[in-house]
Structures are given as structure tokens and as C-alpha cells.
Structure 1
Amino acid sequence: MSGESTPEQELERELLSRTALGVFRLNGQFLAVSEDLARPAGLTAAWWQVVGAVLHEPLPVAGIARAMGITRQSVQRVADLLVTKGLAEYAPNPAHRRAKLLRPTPAGRDAVRKIEPGHAALAARLGAELGEEGFAEAVRVLERLSEALEAVAEPARVPEP
């Protein structure tokens, strides 16, 4: 009987699968929209994401990766490209000699500023489509889902048979 599952377990599996597929689709949609918004400013979605992460305060690459939930290596590649393109620069980190801080250059800030009108227009269209309360609820649900997944997936292990 170890191979059988209860209706509750079946429902949980279905809900997890539907959630994952929905989030993957949503991620693809956000990436496509972000690419469209960033392109006229000379950025990619990934470049915008990394520059945006350090607009308010410089951060080490590992800190950016943690905040965005992606690998340090992928952030490092983008950060190095941004520095090469003159959109960001590395600065000394008083808290850690080897982990330099990434901060935007004036050109990086200007590029992000060029995105703001399109970003604001998209926010207004989404707000109109969802309604203010619906939009706020969508944010709460996504944040709660992220917190719950973080709490239960440390690391996700496959149980032994």
C-alpha cells in the first residue's frame, strides 16, 4: 500500500504542479514585458534587474543574488557586463575586502530612468485590469508563496523509496 496516495495527497500534487506551471508562465510573461521595456533604454531585462537592485544602495554580488533568488554566478556575469558597458562600477566594501560592492554609474541611472514611463504605464494598465485590491492581493499571495516555498524547500530532497 506504500504506492497508493490519498485524495488529499493527489490534490496537493495537482496544486503544486498547477502553481509551478503558472509561475513559470508568469515568469516568461514578465521576462518578455521586461525585455520590451528595457530594450529602448539599451538594457536587457537581466541588466535592468541587476542595476535596479543597486539603485538605492550598493550591494555585493552575493547580496543581489540572495535578494533576487538567483545564483551568484549569474549575477556576477551580468554585473561584469554592466561594468564593461559603463552602466555600473565596483566599489570597495568596508565590510569585506574581497566582496566588492556594485553600484550604478550615472549612465546606468539614466538608462533605468528611461524605462520609468513604460514601467508606470504597465503598472497603470495592470492596476486597471486587476483593480487596486486585486493587485494588492496578487502581491500578497506571491510573497506568501515565496516565503512558504523557502520555508519548506531547504533543500528539496527526494525521499528514498
Structure 2
Amino acid sequence: MDETTKTPNRTPADEALTDLILSLFRVNNLTLTWGDRLVAPLGLTSARWQILGAIVAAERPQPVAWLARDLGANRQNVQRIVNDLAKEGLVRFEPNPHHRRAQLVVLTDKGQQTYDAAIRLYNPRVNTLAEGLPIEDLETAGRVMKALRKKFEAEENAEEQS
């Protein structure tokens, strides 16, 4: 960024973070488009694939609200997608012994097979994407993303409590 486009009262760190955030917006959009194309043959979208992944990653069945929290997503959007996945037989709902109304979301055999097929498509593609990117840079980027996520979550929690 040249001197004429800098915003007054911003530090170099502010400028660097702004550049990073703008890049993240663009990379996020490109990643979602890439993912949509990758899993389209399986009848999935990036959003559906993400939710299947969150279900797989969870240590035990979770209600939609918890899946949404883990994804950093809107609960209503996750509920809509989970309902669609249930209609397609990829997930099912089970009673939640801790909450009568918040049913647990469970992957079906068909859902597991679909998720596994997505991973089989993903692995060679991610290997290609990783080529030429130093592992140290990837690890640093991951740490920065996790730190930013924590800061955004803390800010969101503070706003909810005020």
C-alpha cells in the first residue's frame, strides 16, 4: 500500500491486519467456490461439506446450535442445511437426553460414505495446493488465523453480554 492510500491514525500493524483481512475475504470466496466445484459431483456444496465435517469431527453427536458454534456460523443457516441433509438421508436426528427440543444430529451411513468420498476428492487436490508452500509458513498462517478467531469470538461474546 503506498503512502497516499494509508488511512490516518493507523499503525503499520493496523495496515498489515487490514491487508490480511481483505485477502481473507477474497481467499474465503475462492475457497468456497473451489470447494463447491470439488464436491458438486457428490451433490454437496462447500457449506454442506463443512457441516458434514463438523459432525465427523465432533467427539459425540451435537445439536445444531453447537455445530453452528464450532463452525462460527449462524445457527439458522446451519439448521436449514442440516434439515436439507436429513431430507437427503445424509444425517438423522436423535433425541437429546439433555434437552428435549434440541435434537442431536447424527451422520447416517450414506452421510459417512458421502463425506469419505469428498475427502478422497480433496486429498490429491490439497496436496497439489500445498506444493511449494513452506510448512513453516502454513503453520504460522494457521496460528495467526486461530489467534484472530479467538479475538473475534471474544469481541462477539463481549457484545452479547453488554
SS in 2 for 1:54: helix
The amino acid across from 1:120 in the alignment is N
Equivalence for 2:148:
145
Equivalence for 2:3:
none
TM-score, scaled relative to structure 1? 0.83
Equivalence for 2:101:
98
2:117 to 114, 129, 135: 114
Compare 38-47 and 81-90 and name the one that shifted more: 38-47
The amino acid across from 2:159 in the alignment is P
CA distance in 2, matches of 1:11, 1:155: 27
Q: Residue 125 in 1 paired to residue 128 in 2?
A: yes
Structure 1 runs, 4 residues or longer, greater than 6 Å off: none
Equivalence for 1:53:
54
TM-score, scaled relative to structure 2? 0.83
Q: Residue 34 in 1 paired to residue 38 in 2?
A: no
CA distance in 2, matches of 1:135, 1:80: 35
**Quick check: 1:41–1:112 contact (8 Å CA) kept in 2?**
no
CA distance in 2, matches of 1:133, 1:14: 23
Query: Alignment length, in residue pairs?
Result: 151
Equivalence for 2:159:
155
> 1:10 Cα deviation (Å)?
5.4
> 1:152 Cα deviation (Å)?
3.6
CA distance in 2, matches of 1:150, 1:15: 21
Overall identity of the aligned pairs, in %? 35
CA distance in 2, matches of 1:62, 1:27: 23
Compare 137-146 and 122-131 and name the one that shifted more: 122-131
CA distance in 2, matches of 1:17, 1:85: 41
> Any gaps of 5 or more consecutive residues in structure 1?
1-5, 157-161
> Any gaps of 5 or more consecutive residues in structure 2?
1-6
> 1:22 Cα deviation (Å)?
1.3
> 1:13 Cα deviation (Å)?
5.0
CA distance in 2, matches of 1:117, 1:41: 11
SS in 2 for 1:103: strand
Counting only pairs closer than 5 Å after superposition, residues 10-29 of structure 1 correspond to structure 2 as 11=12, 13-29=14-30
CA distance in 1, matches of 2:132, 2:75: 35
SS in 2 for 1:95: coil
> 1:8 Cα deviation (Å)?
5.1
